[in-house]
Structure 1
Amino acid sequence: MGAGRKARNPVQGMVWWVKKQPPKVKAFLGVVLGIVLLVFLRFVVRDHDNLFVAAEAIHAIGIAVLIYKLMKERTCAGLSLKSQELTAIFLAVRLYCSLVMEKDIHTVLDSATLITTLWVIYTMRFKLKSTLVEDLDNLPIYYVLVPCAALAVLIHPTTSHHLVNRILWAFCVYLEAVSVLPQLRVMQNSRVVEPFTAHYVFALGVARFLSCAHWVLQVLDNNSTLLSALRFGLWPIMVLISEIVQTFILADFCYYYVKSVVDGQNVVRLPSGVV
């Protein structure tokens, strides 16, 4: 009977089929799914810049989920303080770059997300410090900051802006791509991700995919405005690589999140070596 019920649910059956496939097949299927979604978005969304706005909005929603968790459960167990601090750093840098270079809707969204992120950090560091599990949040923050800073000095935009601003722009792009690594380390160490944390990380995964889709589709459409903003050299390639990296970093977790939802589980259970 149990097998029959599973068979009558196509989505659940598909998830179980994917689960049984070897890692290389899963990776291939993930790439295929990503391409299909890109094609879908290309024809459905007329202004592809809206994808980046949607990515920032979804990130803000994810932060709102964290705030709800902290206020309701009065615990920050399962959350990485270091990831929140890295997020605040790249948002602050991106907000500065936006103020001196753009001053558009992205400035407003980044301001709101930065304020809420700072509130989360304050709550975790001071109000709920006793619930932090620092042994799990054990990825040194300089392992992330130093390589991003060094790479930004070496490879940055060739626009007409001041050199410092161009390096800072590159730094926030690189840091955003890997800022979630401490959070993934926490989840890898605990192996069980409670609902609100899972919702937050899944929201990050969706936001990162939409951001990646924005850049890829703009390039495919030969958007002259974007290409003139990125200019020449290695920088345009590094932007695309950064977007792809931050998408694939969360791909495994998003799969297990969807699987848990389909199976009706309240928590996300990760096998060894997933993130």
Structure 2
Amino acid sequence: MKASRNPIHAVSTWIRRQPPKMKVFLGVMSAIVALVFLSLVVEDHDNLFVAAEAVHAIGTCVLIYKLSQEKTCAGLSLKSQELTALFLAVRLYCSFVMEYDIHTLLDSATLGTTLWVIYMIRFKLRSSYMADKDNFGIHYVVIPCAILSLLIHPTTSHHIINRICWAFCVYLEAISVLPQLRVMQNVEIVEPFTAHYVFALGVARFLSCAHWVIQVFDTRGRLLTALGYGLWPSLVLLSEVVQTFILADFCYYYVKSVVGGHLVVRIPSGVV
């Protein structure tokens, strides 16, 4: 008697056979369902942003475990870690001068662990660093974000420098993972701990995006006016959506590999 097929494998196979437009439609519908689920289950929607920062910190701890136990930084992007440290440092400064709350503590912890990862890659484990694979120019990320933050930033009552810094860290966070995605595209096979870390980033990005989208609906759009006027409110939401979709493809292949019982994530050429 022929064994019954694994329903998860069957669904995965069906999705893989769909045309690109159908895949995009299914992805958007899945995101909407997840947003509705979170809005109903999570009572205080501010906790979604706290959860996003906590997941990011947990993902960085996974990297620390990898570097400590395996004594190798192969597959990791030093440039992504440096960009992450940069936007966290700027956001931490903004948090100190503009709000100082639980987000300040979480960002402090994440920045500290990220700096430790940078130290390990640069000095302790430099021999295993894939510099030739980590070939995404940081200036292609930092310069456009800096220019955009000068042109479009919050119109709140805070000092102009603080408002520009706030905008800069929002824009930089949205695309700071690009060098890591370039490394994974170059190697095509992602080992487990690096995959766990990038998947944690994807989850964190989605929770952060969910926080903003749900808050907009909760306040019936008043949140946008509270952020200021002009293009800034729209760019905040756009940045959240962009950083979520940047990692969407990888998260799909990560879940597919985990469900299939594979220890590594294989990324087809041109996916990220």
Aligned to 1:135: 132
Once the two structures are superposed, the pairs formed by residues 1-275 of structure 1 within 5 Å of their partners are 4-5=3-4, 7=5, 9-222=6-219, 226-227=223-224, 229-275=226-272
* Aligned AA (1:264): G
* Aligned AA (2:258): V
Offset of 1:227 from its aligned partner? 3.9
Asked if 1 retains the 8 angstrom alpha-carbon contact of 2:208 and 2:240, the reply is yes
Offset of 1:225 from its aligned partner? 7.6
Distance in 2 (alpha carbons) for counterparts of 1:239 and 1:178? 13
Q: C-alpha deviations, 1:209-244, integer Å up to 9, x for none?
A: 000000000001116884454121111100000000
Distance in 1 (alpha carbons) for counterparts of 2:163 and 2:90? 11
Distance in 2 (alpha carbons) for counterparts of 1:45 and 1:116? 28
Distance in 2 (alpha carbons) for counterparts of 1:102 and 1:188? 39
Asked if 1 retains the 8 angstrom alpha-carbon contact of 2:216 and 2:222, the reply is no
* Aligned AA (1:93): V
Distance in 1 (alpha carbons) for counterparts of 2:156 and 2:33? 33
Offset of 1:23 from its aligned partner? 1.8
Structure 1: any 5+ residue segments left out of the alignment? none
Distance in 1 (alpha carbons) for counterparts of 2:100 and 2:168? 19
Offset of 1:22 from its aligned partner? 1.9
Asked if 1 retains the 8 angstrom alpha-carbon contact of 2:225 and 2:233, the reply is no
Identity %: 73
Offset of 1:107 from its aligned partner? 0.2
Distance in 2 (alpha carbons) for counterparts of 1:224 and 1:40? 20
Give the TM-score normalised by structure 1: 0.96
Distance in 2 (alpha carbons) for counterparts of 1:75 and 1:226? 45
Distance in 1 (alpha carbons) for counterparts of 2:200 and 2:226? 28
Q: Indicate the larger mover: 157-166 or 9-18.
A: 9-18
Q: C-alpha deviations, 1:134-178, integer Å up to 9, x for none?
A: 110000110100010011011100000011110000000000000
* Aligned AA (1:143): Y
Offset of 1:181 from its aligned partner? 0.1
* Aligned AA (1:184): L
- CA, structure 1 residues 117+20, in 2 after alignment: closer, same or farther (shift >3 Å)? same
- RMSD of the alignment, in Å? 1.3
* Aligned AA (1:64): C
Offset of 1:12 from its aligned partner? 2.1
Q: What SS is found at the alignment partner of 2:164? A: helix
Asked if 1 retains the 8 angstrom alpha-carbon contact of 2:79 and 2:138, the reply is yes
Distance in 1 (alpha carbons) for counterparts of 2:43 and 2:203? 19
- CA, structure 1 residues 163+221, in 2 after alignment: closer, same or farther (shift >3 Å)? same
Q: How many residues were matched structurally? A: 272
- CA, structure 1 residues 105+225, in 2 after alignment: closer, same or farther (shift >3 Å)? farther
Offset of 1:132 from its aligned partner? 0.5
Distance in 2 (alpha carbons) for counterparts of 1:89 and 1:223? 33
Offset of 1:50 from its aligned partner? 0.2
Q: What SS is found at the alignment partner of 1:12? A: helix
Q: What SS is found at the alignment partner of 1:271? A: coil
